[in-house]
Amino acid sequence: MSRTPFVGGNFKCTGTASSLTSLVKGFNDSITGYPEVEVVIAPGTEYLGLVKAVAHRNIGISAQNCVPKSGAYTGEMSAEQVKDMGLPYVILGHSERRHVFRETDAEIAAKVKAALAQKLCVIFCVGEKLDEREANKTQEVCFHQMKAALTTIAPADWKNIVIAYEPVWAIGTGKVASPEQAQEATALIRSWLSDNINASVASSTRILYGGSVNAKNCADLWARRDIDGFLVGGASTKPEFSEIVKACVKPKAKL
Ligand code: PGA
């Protein structure tokens, strides 16, 4: 089955009103001519309204996180509020949330559930740390992270899940996974979906690669069969993000 390519840009905690306005205006010119790719950008919470107002309607806007419930949670934004702001997407389970802010599997699972209940599209991140890869635990770690959050999803909600395989050792390090490593892990994730959910979810769910993707390395990664696009950090805050989007327009080679 053909899956619509998906490219997400995670600006993380970077930018100012002025720098993000000019960045996104540049994307309006360079990216919106590629309707065959679903393009989503995720600015920091404080700039969501600004970026939403500036971005062309063909560029989706995502929150970088949310909590399950509205209420007395200082500094947080709830799934309900993400929805209310007219934002269709939220990134959940990002490694910086897991490892810097110590979010647990149970907390992430509750966030996924709440976001899906609001009909948000969840960009769900999984990936192993360097010591886990070196101990041959990549599959174990990714499967564990998926099992914790994805096994109870209602069949109708799977269309609102995109999975990003993001090895922690490749994020923000300039050390990209090789196309073979990225293909191997994304294929494993697809096989988990087939074994634990069903064949149709396995063939329809978009699986992204993330970790030091840039304009130079994206074409070789894109060529791999199970990589349906990218979640991009650093390079999404530069004009080269449009080159990554354009790379995903090319028909896939069967590698
Ligand atoms: P990076 O970040 O592209 O800067 O490595 C990727 C991510 O955190 O999604």
pLDDT (tens digit, 9 = 90+) per residue, 106-144? 999 999 999 999 999 999 999 999 999 999 999 999 999
Pocket mutation for ligand 1, best pick of 163, 165, 166, 216 (most atoms within 8 Å of C-beta): 166
Domains of the chain, by residue range, sit at 6-247
Whole-angstrom Cα distance, residue 240 to residue 149? 33
**Quick check: CB of 233 below 6 Å from ligand 1?**
yes
Residues tagged active-site: 94, 166
**Quick check: CB of 167 below 6 Å from ligand 1?**
no
Indicate the fold that domain 6-247 takes in CATH. TIM Barrel (3.20.20)
Pocket mutation for ligand 1, best pick of 231, 238, 240, 244 (most atoms within 8 Å of C-beta): 231
Structure tokens that stand for 68 in this block: 């399950």
pLDDT (tens digit, 9 = 90+) per residue, 64-101? 999 999 999 999 999 999 999 999 999 999 999 999 99
Sequence-separated (6 or more) residues with CB below 8 Å from residue 129: 99, 141, 168, 169
Upper half-sphere CA count for residue 164 (Cβ side, 13 Å): 29
Q: What is the pTM of this model?
A: 0.97
